[in-house]
Structure 1
């Protein structure tokens, strides 16, 4: 969800607008990381981004279209608390998987293949299990396989999970039923069907 990044970015853009200034994406990213580790959702394009110092900014082609069945947990995690947790060993262990994930993201954008994007997100989610484990994660992966979904993505510093799918070809009601059957609704009692959108901040 990148909710803390959204709050900071929106506040910065609105303040700049009020003062008669404009912030480009790169400047906005630098400002955000000066306050806290930041998600790449500040960029309109899908972007590989160093969330600590904004030193890496590599934009991709347009992302393939897909939907997300967002699974919402009642658990609340504070971003600041998460980033104070020692994570170096887990990050190093997950680095090879994340490298493969990045390659698949680029393939997905070039070929407009949602399955490649799902594979990338799933690799990243598996690596994230070393840092912030999601409950019954194996059951989530099994559901993705059984329902032939594109993949699963997770909030890396939060509790939200997204099942990546196409509402036109996947049976969303059946997926929700499967979540209940696998008792995954114990952890994620609320679900929201959403379209994946581009990033960036919009003034309205």
Structure 2
């Protein structure tokens, strides 16, 4: 007996699917960028494998979707939207989310939940959604999404519209990152309460230049230029979500032999950046950690952007 996607035959066992998504660590670049005659908000995320979200979706005989924990409303919405897009709006199931991502800090916790949920639904149903559709649904589920659905592709992503503004040819130079929090209480930022930045004409022109620099950094796999883009973008964000002692952090990176500083443009994490292929990267990273400790930042973490 043949059944369409989303319908279970009488004796067919319940189906279950799984999905997971790794986090990010703020952005290399975020601002507004020209696309044709219009301006679009866009970003390029910093890959980070320190945290992830895992989801499972089990098809049930119900006609609705439940989620655990119950407060994961965005992931629930994403699962419902994915089922609708797959032609199975009446398919019921239970969505389970397990993650270790601190919310509101710039690790992309909501996007990770949303993408993991959609991946689990696709796995359970046995059908795949094209990446542009996943991007659109992610924005519909959470209003603004990070670019994690793009995988290893390097692209300027329209995070409030769900599309690629520009895909860059090449790859990101691998970086070693010494990460840390910048807020006094470590609670991060209420991203929903944070209004979208209103950029000046001067800032918009600066983003045009940074976009071109990033294009060259990716084409040439250039860690120093990538670091300069991240630092400049972080500095531009100071008018909108200031990081305390940013000038000092920039100087610490320079003293330790780093290539720059990156921040979460709507969170409180930041990182000192180092060329991961520099033969002296270990001693540079240790020097950076010591400098941060003397500056009063005692809790740090470390990761590579290509692992």
TM-score (normalizing by structure 2): 0.58
Of residues 256, 269, 278 in structure 2, which corresponds to 1:147?
256
Aligned residue number for residue 121 of structure 1: 230
Tell me how far 1:131 sits from its aligned partner. 1.3
Aligned-partner SS, 1:172? helix
Cα RMSD for the two superposed structures: 1.9
Tell me how far 1:93 sits from its aligned partner. 5.0
Aligned residue number for residue 40 of structure 1: 147
Q: In the aligned structure 2, how far is the partner of 1:86 from the partner of 1:107?
A: 28
Aligned residue number for residue 292 of structure 2: 179
Aligned residue number for residue 123 of structure 2: 17
Considering Cα pairs closer than 8 Å and 6+ residues apart, tell me whether 1 or 2 has the greater RCO: 1
List runs of 5+ in structure 2 lacking aligned partners.
Answer: 1-106
Q: In the aligned structure 2, how far is the partner of 1:132 from the partner of 1:93?
A: 18
Correspondence list, 1:100-139, <5 A: 100-139=209-248
Change (3 A) 1:147 1:96: farther
Of residues 158, 166, 170 in structure 2, which corresponds to 1:50?
158
Aligned-partner SS, 2:193? helix
Structure ranking higher in strand proportion: 2
Q: In the aligned structure 1, how far is the partner of 2:139 from the partner of 2:126?
A: 23
Change (3 A) 1:72 1:39: same
For 1:102-146, what per-residue CA distance to the aligned partner results, in whole angstroms no more than 9, with x for missing partners?
Answer: 111111111111001101111111111111111111111111222
Q: In the aligned structure 2, how far is the partner of 1:77 from the partner of 1:180?
A: 23
Aligned residue number for residue 87 of structure 1: 197
In terms of Rg, which structure is larger? 2
Moved runs in structure 1, 4+ residues, more than 3 A? 90-93
Tell me how far 1:86 sits from its aligned partner. 5.4
Query: Quick check: 1:98–1:127 contact (8 Å CA) kept in 2?
Result: no
Query: Quick check: 1:4–1:79 contact (8 Å CA) kept in 2?
Result: no
List runs of 5+ in structure 1 lacking aligned partners.
Answer: 199-204
Aligned residue number for residue 8 of structure 2: none
Tell me how far 1:166 sits from its aligned partner. 3.2
The alignment status of 1:169 with 2:280, answered yes or no, reads yes
